[in-house]
Chains A and B, each alone.
Chain A
Amino acid sequence: MIADDDEKWLAAAIAAVKQNAFYMQRAIDSNNLKDALKFSAQMLSELRTSKLSPHKYYELYMRVFNELGTLEIFFKEETGRGCSIAELYELVQHAGNILPRLYLLCTIGSVYIKSKDVTATDILKDLVEMCRAVQHPLRGLFLRSYLAQVTRDKLPSIGSDLEGDGDAHMNALEFVLQNFTEMNKLWVRMQHQGPSREKEKREKERNELRDLVGKNLHVLSQLEGVDLGIYRDTVLPRILEQVVNCKDELAQCYLMDCIIQVFPDDFHLQTLDVLLGACPQLQPSVDIKTVLSGLMERLSNYAASSVEALPNFLQVEAFSKLNYAIGKVVEAQADLPAAASVTLYLFLLKFTLHVYSDRLDYVDQVLGSCVTQLSATGKLCDDKAAKQIVAFLSAPLEKYNNVVTILKLTNYPLVMEYLDRETNKAMAIILVQSVFKNNTHIATADEVDALFELAKGLMKDFDGTIDDEIDEEDFQEEQNLVARLVNKLYIDDPEEMSKIIFTVRKHIVAGGPKRLPLTIPPLVFSALKLIRRLRGGDENPFGDDASATPKRILQLLSETVEVLSDVSAPDLALRLYLQCAQAANNCELETVAYEFFTKAYLLYEEEISDSKAQVTALRLIIGTLQRMRVFNVENRDTLTHKATGYSARLLRKPDQCRAVYECAHLFWADECENLKDGERVVLCLKRAQRIADAVQQMANASRGTSSTGSVSLYVELLNKYLYFLEKGNQQVTGDTIKSLAELIKSETKKVESGAEPFINSTLRYIEFQRQQEDGGMNEKYEKIKMEWFE
């Protein structure tokens, strides 16, 4: 309804403007000054309306504005025809209504200035002063906007031909400033017009008009002759005075932004303290962070765009000023939300990184300030703040592309303290990823320590609580990162490397039951890699007291892996023990290796209960033990004995059988003469065969259910015999093999075993070896008299 009326009124006003403009044009065409004035005043009277919304009023204003152009030209011609411009200037002021009078005055005023009959200064002063008479905010704003518009190209400035005297440009400046001040006052006052329930709508409308005010600042910036000195001494203080005094949120916010955007970077740099000094004086509701961020962003870009400007930044101590100002602002606005203050610091940080990329202490200082601020608010909980702080912390990372640099920032970890768990973790991920992305080389244990300290969000749970809602896949992915990081740590100096390992261990061990199985293996392998290197180099190059001896590292690993067994990952622990044992073996540390085995056995006995797991574990044990060369006879016997014992105690017979024949390998090592106990090998195999017999019997007992397992067991055994035969075990006789073959043959006849392919290929192999001319294999195979396939 209101909008409809608005339209109606506007239409009526526009019609009236058109009509009067038509008559005015006719009067102009016939050079009738009096009528031209009369109709132009009538036309302008339409602008006296109070009924239109700012938007519609603007439309109307534009119509009138276009018509006034014609009038201005007419005035110009009129003066050419000998009419004194001073008279004209007086004549228009006879208009009874103020608004048309002033519009006409501005129009003729601009012509007057052009004519150079008087100094521009006088006219400008007069105009801007007279315009005070319109106190109605909307009408006043547009009137002054018109004034600014028509005088814009006529402002005297240095070098312009309108310059009357030396002070002319100062006066022009004064003019614009004054017009700006008045416009702003009017603009601010607009909010109080009308009922308070429409305030919101009014503020919206008001916001639409802001460019009218801002344009003045633009004019100021374009004004020739405004150099740094004038800007610093006159322009800026005056503008700021107005901005601060108007005590209006909308205006302050907009104008501060205007100032920042409109004037040259260099000016800002040189007047930073003035500009910043105004910030804490603004209304508390002003979104100061946007303002300051804008400023810092501009300065950053400035610094980025021109290298020559950098010394200036140093000279004016831009950093400390900004830092101080932000501190002030934060202090002044007690209820500033954390997100806002963090954003402020974020922009300061970005600025610092741009301008003072070599000044880590500055960066650190920003972080420090942020910490101080956060300490007041406590942990950050809301998403927005979290997002900002992630950006904040990522900024230096993006700039330096080097985590090591970040580690030098002492306040960095302090900031991280204030993150909630999620954010902290996210940040840790970013940090770690950066290492991979930039292929950062981390050179010292201290750095590693710091990095892990930073990334502890990934490494351990906070407050001992475990978040059940964590997505398993994500969790794996995260820990994967940690593992990758551990693997990535590598430096040439073994001494330092061992320190690194110690450090990493310290951090990882605290990771809790969920993480340990994922993070310990990389650590162990990294350590083992180091041990291999140590062994490869000189024997103990650092003397006895050096930390980086294999023994010490193994000792550490032993402790580390032990942690794993506590967190119900015995399988893994066992594997790692065995790996360590192997390393100890390679370093010829018998007792250490023995200890590892003992632990592995212990684990096997106490923790591994699942039969399948047992089978796997036992295989690992046997495989590893087979390769151990460091043990003396006694130790080896003990271990072998135990392993054999475990084999016999497996739950399922086939497993037993297989484990036992695997054990045979424990008595036979190819490259080691004193480890070829053929007798015991055969003993083992025999025992295995007995177990296979038992399996066979059970299978026969439950005939009907197709059990083929035993046959393949026999075939496997046969293969084992063949293996040892080839290796030259004298205890493996042709008879044994033959009888086994017979057995297989008879068994296959009894039942469809399904093991035929295996049997056939074994037979083919035997045949093949028999026919080998060289290598002496055929001799060994001579023992076997086979009449399998006649």
Chain B
Amino acid sequence: MNYLLGAFKPACNISITFTDGKNRKQVPTKKDNGQIVMNPLFQSQETIAGKINIEPYQGKKVEHNGVKVELLGQIEMYFDRGNFYDFTSLVREIDVPGEIYERKTYPFEFSSVEMPYETYNGVNVRLRYVLKVTVTRGYAGSIVEYQDFVVRNYVPLPPINNSIKMEVGIEDCLHIEFEYNKSKYHLKDVILGKIYFLLVRIKIKNMDLEIRRRESTGAGANTHVETETLAKFELMDGAPVRGESIPVRVFLTPYDLTPTHKNINNKFSVKYYLNLVLVDEEDRRYFKQQEITLYRLKEETS
């Protein structure tokens, strides 16, 4: 269908505008080809409304079997490229079959759309929301236009947010106790904590805190797990002695993080981990990984 579009000039130009498009926040999204484009931002239960302009090229008329607009929520697995799984699909018929001679504007509205999942661009999986306008034509193939938009869902402060506290070690070699102030962080949060050295018999060179993302896709035997280190943040330089406590303060802002996604539509999960890594003078690494939950907190500003 796509190559037909390339072969023939489409008969008309379709553009989609949102009602509050001027004021709505735009967020950057990376396209397949690597280009960054700005897309409007929505959240669940919002009404997505706007106008669709269909403007035939000069002197042409567009004969169609009807015009519809769909709101789709799709999950795309990269190993299964081209196959979209729609978890949300809403349709509005905006025009009955007929002919369009000149520019025509159709308002549309999806009110209070349930969009439970956030837009996500992972290594192996993508979740996206898109408005799809189809001008259905019998013989010449339908004319389709897409408009991506981004969905982010905000959650309130979790009522329970325990700190992570743990003592780990290698017997007679290294004992540390670490503490992160929370187990759930919002994306602009700061990880605060402390690392106590209870016993140090190895010559430590430095200590880093890594933020790792573990993306698992598929289910059962076909599960793909991809782990990325998104941040490597040096916490300590040099060898501490027994009894030292090293402060932890990591701002999450500079990193490209998403909320934790759990089993999205049985297709994929995204989990985050804090990995505390100690490196000794022989470059041996000692580490301890802890899962944290990331969530998107409603921003007070804007």
- Which listed residue, A48, A90, A93, touches B237 by the CB 8 Å rule? A48
Query: B247 to A99, Cβ gap below 8 A?
Result: no
Contacts of B239 in A (CB 8 A): 135-136
Question: Cα distance A416–B25 when bound, in Å?
Answer: 96
Contacts of B237 in A (CB 8 A): 48, 98-99, 133-136, 139-140
> Does B253 have its Cβ within 8 Å of any Cβ on chain A?
yes
Query: B233 to A96, Cβ gap below 8 A?
Result: yes
Chain A residue nearest to B204 in the complex (CB): A135
Question: Cα distance A132–B196 when bound, in Å?
Answer: 12
Give the interface size class of chain B. 20 to 34
> Does A130 have its Cβ within 8 Å of any Cβ on chain B?
yes
Chain B residue nearest to A102 in the complex (CB): B237
Contact with B along A205-222 (1 / 0, CB 8 A): 000000000000000000
Q: Closest CB-CB distance, A573 to chain B, in whole Å?
A: 83
Q: Which among A101, A134, A140 has the greatest number of chain B C-beta atoms within 10 A?
A: A134
Question: Cα distance A67–B128 when bound, in Å?
Answer: 48
Query: A133 to B236, Cβ gap below 8 A?
Result: yes
Could you show 5 A-B contacts with beta carbons less than 8 Å apart?
A: A97-B234, A98-B235, A132-B246, A134-B238, A136-B238
> Does A129 have its Cβ within 8 Å of any Cβ on chain B?
yes
> Does A197 have its Cβ within 8 Å of any Cβ on chain B?
no
Query: A133 to B246, Cβ gap below 8 A?
Result: yes
Query: B251 to A133, Cβ gap below 8 A?
Result: no
Query: B244 to A135, Cβ gap below 8 A?
Result: yes
Question: Cα distance A99–B236 when bound, in Å?
Answer: 9
Chain B residue nearest to A101 in the complex (CB): B234
Contacts of B246 in A (CB 8 A): 132-133, 135
Contacts of A133 in B (CB 8 A): 235-237, 246-247
Known: A133-B247, A135-B246. Contact between A189 and B234, CB under 8 A? no
Contacts of A135 in B (CB 8 A): 236-241, 244, 246
Question: Cα distance A214–B280 when bound, in Å?
Answer: 31
Q: Closest CB-CB distance, B176 to chain A, in whole Å?
A: 13
Contacts of A101 in B (CB 8 A): 234
Contacts of B249 in A (CB 8 A): 93, 130
Q: Closest CB-CB distance, B200 to chain A, in whole Å?
A: 10
Contacts of A99 in B (CB 8 A): 237
- B contacts, CB < 8 Å to A: 206, 231-241, 244-247, 249, 251, 253-254
Query: B238 to A90, Cβ gap below 8 A?
Result: no
Contacts of B238 in A (CB 8 A): 134-137, 139-140
Known: A93-B251, A94-B253, A94-B254. Contact between A189 and B241, CB under 8 A? yes
Contacts of B245 in A (CB 8 A): 132
- Leading 10 A-B pairs by shortest Cβ distance: A136-B238, A135-B238, A98-B234, A135-B240, A94-B254, A134-B237, A98-B237, A97-B234, A133-B236, A136-B237
Chain A residue nearest to B250 in the complex (CB): A93
Contacts of B231 in A (CB 8 A): 96
Contacts of A185 in B (CB 8 A): 241
Q: Closest CB-CB distance, A44 to chain B, in whole Å?
A: 12
Question: Cα distance A130–B194 when bound, in Å?
Answer: 11
Question: Cα distance A361–B265 when bound, in Å?
Answer: 96
Question: Cα distance A136–B203 when bound, in Å?
Answer: 11
Chain A residue nearest to B231 in the complex (CB): A96
Contacts of A94 in B (CB 8 A): 251, 253-254
Known: A96-B234, A139-B238. Contact between A132 and B254, CB under 8 A? no
Chain B residue nearest to A98 in the complex (CB): B234
Q: Which among B238, B239, B247 has the greatest number of chain A C-beta atoms within 10 A?
A: B238
Chain B, interface SS category: strand
Question: Cα distance A595–B56 when bound, in Å?
Answer: 165
Contacts of B206 in A (CB 8 A): 98
Q: Which among A101, A136, A185 has the greatest number of chain B C-beta atoms within 10 A?
A: A136
Q: Closest CB-CB distance, A254 to chain B, in whole Å?
A: 21
Query: B247 to A98, Cβ gap below 8 A?
Result: no
Query: Would you list which residues of chain A between 163 and 213 have a CB under 8 Å from chain B?
Result: 185, 189
Q: Closest CB-CB distance, A175 to chain B, in whole Å?
A: 15
Q: Which among B231, B232, B233 has the greatest number of chain A C-beta atoms within 10 A?
A: B233
Question: Cα distance A132–B247 when bound, in Å?
Answer: 7
Question: Cα distance A98–B237 when bound, in Å?
Answer: 7
Q: Closest CB-CB distance, A93 to chain B, in whole Å?
A: 6
Query: A98 to B241, Cβ gap below 8 A?
Result: no
Question: Cα distance A185–B238 when bound, in Å?
Answer: 13
Query: Would you list which residues of chain A between 67 and 124 have a CB under 8 Å from chain B?
Result: 90, 93-94, 96-99, 101
Question: Cα distance A94–B249 when bound, in Å?
Answer: 10
Question: Cα distance A48–B240 when bound, in Å?
Answer: 16
Q: Closest CB-CB distance, B37 to chain A, in whole Å?
A: 23
Chain B residue nearest to A105 in the complex (CB): B249
Question: Cα distance A438–B233 when bound, in Å?
Answer: 78
Question: Cα distance A132–B241 when bound, in Å?
Answer: 12
Chain B residue nearest to A185 in the complex (CB): B241
Q: Closest CB-CB distance, B196 to chain A, in whole Å?
A: 11
Question: Cα distance A98–B247 when bound, in Å?
Answer: 11
Chain B residue nearest to A193 in the complex (CB): B239
Query: B241 to A134, Cβ gap below 8 A?
Result: no
New contact pairs (6) apart from A94-B251, A130-B247, CB-CB < 8 Å? A98-B236, A134-B237, A135-B236, A135-B240, A135-B246, A189-B241
Question: Cα distance A4–B179 when bound, in Å?
Answer: 45
Question: Cα distance A96–B251 when bound, in Å?
Answer: 11
Q: Closest CB-CB distance, B277 to chain A, in whole Å?
A: 13
Question: Cα distance A90–B190 when bound, in Å?
Answer: 10
Question: Cα distance A133–B244 when bound, in Å?
Answer: 9
- Which listed residue, A90, A134, A137, A189, touches B236 by the CB 8 Å rule? A134
Contacts of A189 in B (CB 8 A): 241
Q: Closest CB-CB distance, B187 to chain A, in whole Å?
A: 14
Contacts of B254 in A (CB 8 A): 94
Contacts of B251 in A (CB 8 A): 90, 93-94
Query: A129 to B247, Cβ gap below 8 A?
Result: yes
Chain A residue nearest to B248 in the complex (CB): A133
Q: Closest CB-CB distance, B84 to chain A, in whole Å?
A: 37
Question: Cα distance A93–B249 when bound, in Å?
Answer: 8
Chain A residue nearest to B245 in the complex (CB): A132
Question: Cα distance A268–B240 when bound, in Å?
Answer: 35
Query: B244 to A132, Cβ gap below 8 A?
Result: yes
Contacts of B234 in A (CB 8 A): 96-98, 101
Question: Cα distance A133–B240 when bound, in Å?
Answer: 9
Known: A134-B237, A134-B238, A135-B238. Contact between A96 and B247, CB under 8 A? no
Question: Cα distance A48–B238 when bound, in Å?
Answer: 10
Question: Cα distance A129–B247 when bound, in Å?
Answer: 7
Q: Closest CB-CB distance, B237 to chain A, in whole Å?
A: 5
Question: Cα distance A750–B108 when bound, in Å?
Answer: 177
Question: Cα distance A129–B246 when bound, in Å?
Answer: 8
Query: Would you list which residues of chain A between 36 and 85 have a CB under 8 Å from chain B?
Result: 48
Contacts of B247 in A (CB 8 A): 129-130, 132-133
Q: Closest CB-CB distance, A141 to chain B, in whole Å?
A: 11
Q: Closest CB-CB distance, B136 to chain A, in whole Å?
A: 50
Question: Cα distance A101–B237 when bound, in Å?
Answer: 11
Chain B residue nearest to A188 in the complex (CB): B241
Contacts of A136 in B (CB 8 A): 237-239
Contacts of B232 in A (CB 8 A): 96
Question: Cα distance A97–B241 when bound, in Å?
Answer: 21
Question: Cα distance A749–B262 when bound, in Å?
Answer: 158
Chain B residue nearest to A48 in the complex (CB): B237
Chain A residue nearest to B281 in the complex (CB): A50
Contacts of B244 in A (CB 8 A): 132, 135
Q: Closest CB-CB distance, B155 to chain A, in whole Å?
A: 23
Question: Cα distance A101–B233 when bound, in Å?
Answer: 10
Q: Which among A94, A137, A139, A140 has the greatest number of chain B C-beta atoms within 10 A?
A: A94
Contacts of A48 in B (CB 8 A): 237
Q: Closest CB-CB distance, B248 to chain A, in whole Å?
A: 9
Q: Closest CB-CB distance, A300 to chain B, in whole Å?
A: 40
Question: Cα distance A189–B206 when bound, in Å?
Answer: 16
Q: Closest CB-CB distance, B40 to chain A, in whole Å?
A: 27
Contacts of A93 in B (CB 8 A): 249, 251
Q: Closest CB-CB distance, A83 to chain B, in whole Å?
A: 16
Contacts of A132 in B (CB 8 A): 244-247
